Amino acid sequence: MGTVVSLTIPARAISDRELDAATAAVERVFAGSDETFSLYRPDSEASRLARGELSLRDSSAGMRDRYADAVGWRLMTEGAFSPERPDGVLDLSGIIKGYAIGQAGEALRIRGITDWCLNAGGDVLVMGSPVPGSVASWAAGIADPLDRSALLSACELGGRGGWKTGTRRALATSGSAERGDHIWTAGSRGAEFVQVSVAAADIVTADVLATAIVAGGTEMLHRATDGWEIDVLAVRRGGDVLATPGFRA
């Protein structure tokens, strides 16, 4: 998918053999998603769909399922999130990375690994604590879109004593400061925000709503915070910041 994926597990939490197996499991998940959904690969199913060589009706069950999910999100966000580009080409970039991260997390969970942090291109999903057996939360930093060398804010994820007792396990960031080529309405009604970060209980919700708020602007920001249990950090083009209590300076 044209991004870097990292896995962090606390030292001595698992054996070297278990770590190798966990890393391989995560790699398999992302490799499988890449083969099907990546528009960076000309041989992927998504690229064949984009070129018109394959119809959605004849695509795989996984492709159709993810498209159905994306359409559901389009309805829930009243069109701020869309699985189609302005030219009508199907592009699930705004949702599939979140699903891959979630599947990789499930692969770790079923192996009995209880403390970990997955980061895929700045989108983060955690479980447990960086200090196994403690109540400590993982700390996720948000880069300043106007100065990529500086941190704008931080957010506590996971743990057993953090923000709202660890209900926020996922963090996703969208905007023109990063790779925003899948945010179709940026530059028109959504141009007021250059970057939006969303913390949520699951990574797909965080990923989709971050994209939708960039695309839909303040109206979608209010709709998202009213309709979902999330925290939001939104940066306007002039540098003004809007933040809910889950984010701290």
Domain boundaries, the chain: 5-248
The whole-model pTM stands at 0.89
Minimum mean pLDDT range among 1-15, 113-127, 187-201: 187-201
Task: Please identify, in words, the CATH class of the domain defined by 5-248.
Answer: alpha beta
pLDDT band for position 165 (cuts 50, 70, 90): very low
CA 28 vs. chain centroid, Å, equals: 19
CA 126 vs. chain centroid, Å, equals: 12
Q: 58: buried, middle or exposed (CB in 10 Å: 19+, 13-18, 0-12)?
A: exposed
Residue 160: its pLDDT value, please? 64
Mean pLDDT on 143-151: 88
In tens, the pLDDT along 24-49 reads 999 999 999 999 999 889 999 999 99
Q: What percent of the chain has pLDDT over 70?
A: 90
Cα–Cα nearest to 214, from 119, 44, 94: 94
More confident residue, 133 or 7: 7
In tens, the pLDDT along 171-184 reads 999 986 555 444 54
- In degrees and rounded to multiples of 5, residue 120 shows phi and psi of -120, 100
Residue 181: its pLDDT value, please? 47
Q: CB-based contacts of 100: which residues, under 8 Å, 6+ apart?
A: 1, 29, 30, 33, 120
Residue 190: its pLDDT value, please? 45
Cα–Cα nearest to 224, from 193, 192, 189, 199: 199
Residue 175: its pLDDT value, please? 86
Kind of pairing between the strands at 193-200 and 116-120: unpaired
Mean pLDDT over each residue of the chain, to the nearest integer: 88
Residue 140's identity, in one-letter code, is A
> What is the CB neighbour count within 10 angstroms for residue 202?
15
How far is residue 99's CA from residue 97's CA, in Å, rounded to a whole number? 5
Residue 238: its pLDDT value, please? 87
How far is residue 195's CA from residue 145's CA, in Å, rounded to a whole number? 7
For the record, the structure tokens of 149 come out as 């060398």
Residue 129: its pLDDT value, please? 92
Residue 210: its pLDDT value, please? 96
3-state secondary structure of 136: coil
How far is residue 118's CA from residue 101's CA, in Å, rounded to a whole number? 7
For the record, the structure tokens of 248 come out as 């701290």
Residue 29: its pLDDT value, please? 96
How far is residue 52's CA from residue 33's CA, in Å, rounded to a whole number? 20
Residue 162: its pLDDT value, please? 43
In tens, the pLDDT along 60-98 reads 999 999 999 999 999 999 999 999 888 888 899 889 999
Cα–Cα distances in angstroms (integers) from residue 89 to residues 48, 52, 86, 194, in the given order: 11, 9, 7, 24
